[in-house]
Amino acid sequence: MPLTAKPLAGIKIVELGQVLAGPFAGAIFADLGALVIKVEKPDGGDDARQMGAAFRDGDALIFKDFNRGKRSLALDLKSPEGIAALHAELANADIMLHNLRPGAAEALGIGSAAITARHPRLIYCEMGAFGHMGPLARRPGYEPLLQAYCGLSAITGAPDGPPTRMGASVVDQGTGMWTVIGALAALAERARTGQGGVVNTSLYETATMWAGQKLSAFVNQGELPQKHASGHPAFVPYQGFDTADGPVLVCCGNDRLFAKFAALLDRPEWIADPRFATNRARLTNQGELLPMIAVLMAERPRQKWLAALEAAGVPCAPINTIPELAADPQTAALGMLAPVPGTDYQLVALPLSFQGQRPAITAPAPALGEYRRP
């Protein structure tokens, strides 16, 4: 039987998610066809409902984005009735996930040990800030804090600029992705053993993984990372240049591509110049080469450069704005902006397809407490 665009149909997830990392994991599961029951506090629900201006139904857009396709169950988990209702949902659930503040689940009596003892087939996914062990295990954390703590801010931005936060929430969303990967691996293990278990992920571990190449280079070779703006530490030229009317990224990943680029720039003498003939020479002499390239690139408009570079086979791309990305024909061709049934808006769809079919968004984010147990 071929893969379908809803491969997790029949799988039940109970999500105790707040704001981003936990809800993003839940949204992935929902888009893949799982039933996702989002447990929210009765008074206001997920804090993300109020994170920004009201978009639809009084909720912020970020809540609509990361909670599409779910059902909302309002429970007071500080009450015996609320805990009993949670256990009733977990009795036939496959996965529970949460990104509660460290220690909060244990204080409520729903930590991993208590839950897995009562529901041994359940996959319990615990998403922390600084990890499930170590001196910082009880410390809370947020996206910019972990980007800063784990070195990502220090390696982002211009060489002479300050540490810079990445524009996307790569740590939160990455932790959601690792949680889904871990949960699916645990489900495969359960199919063999009949037993569930605990999956631990954290913002710290995700951020450290994203910094992994730089960290490995330091611990193994003593290399201190440098910031390169749009550039690359190992290739030159491999960065953005301003044209007469907009920036373009040019990637010369080998000497053959550089030769083509030099010819386009009408500088064939660079190909034989010992300062620029090889990538290692260009790395050493980039302070001389890059300013000369910048002057030449600024003489012509972006579309002329892109057409010439593409015709010559030199990898390149416009450095697009978000509005340009939204309007790009490739975005439309791939169906990356997906309609939300019953609404007048679109959201970004999952970046994968099955048999060429992208999983559709099946429903908008739920109203607080709309789910009632059958």
Please give the helix or strand (H or E) that residue 185 lies within, else none. helix 170-193
Give yes or no for a contact between 18 and 142, defined as CB atoms under 8 angstroms apart. Answer: no
Interstrand relation of 197-202 and 54-56 (parallel, antiparallel or unpaired): unpaired
**The one-letter amino acid at 334:** L
Helix (H, G, I), strand (E, B) or coil at 151: coil
Q: What is the DSSP string of 100-117?
A: PPTTHHHHTT-SHHHHHH
Dist. CA 230–CA 284, nearest whole Å: 18
Interstrand relation of 346-348 and 337-339 (parallel, antiparallel or unpaired): antiparallel
The residue with tokens 């048999």 is 355
Interstrand relation of 12-16 and 35-40 (parallel, antiparallel or unpaired): parallel
b/e 233-257 (16+ beta carbons within 10 angstroms → b) = bebbbbbbbebeebbbbbbbeebeb
Dist. CA 315–CA 99, nearest whole Å: 41
Dist. CA 193–CA 113, nearest whole Å: 19
Active-site hit among 87, 119, 132, 232: 232
Region of 208 (left: φ > 0; alpha: ψ -120 to 50; beta: rest) is: alpha
Residues 6+ apart with CB under 8 A from 56: 64, 343, 345, 364
Give yes or no for a contact between 95 and 123, defined as CB atoms under 8 angstroms apart. Answer: yes
Taking the CA atoms of the chain, what radius of gyration do you get in angstroms? Answer: 25
Q: What is the DSSP string of 318-362?
A: E---HHHHHH-HHHHHHT-EEEPTTSS-EEEPPS--BTTBPPPP-
Known active-site residue 132:
no
Q: What angle do CA 365, 366, 372 make, to 5 degrees?
A: 150
Active site residues: 232
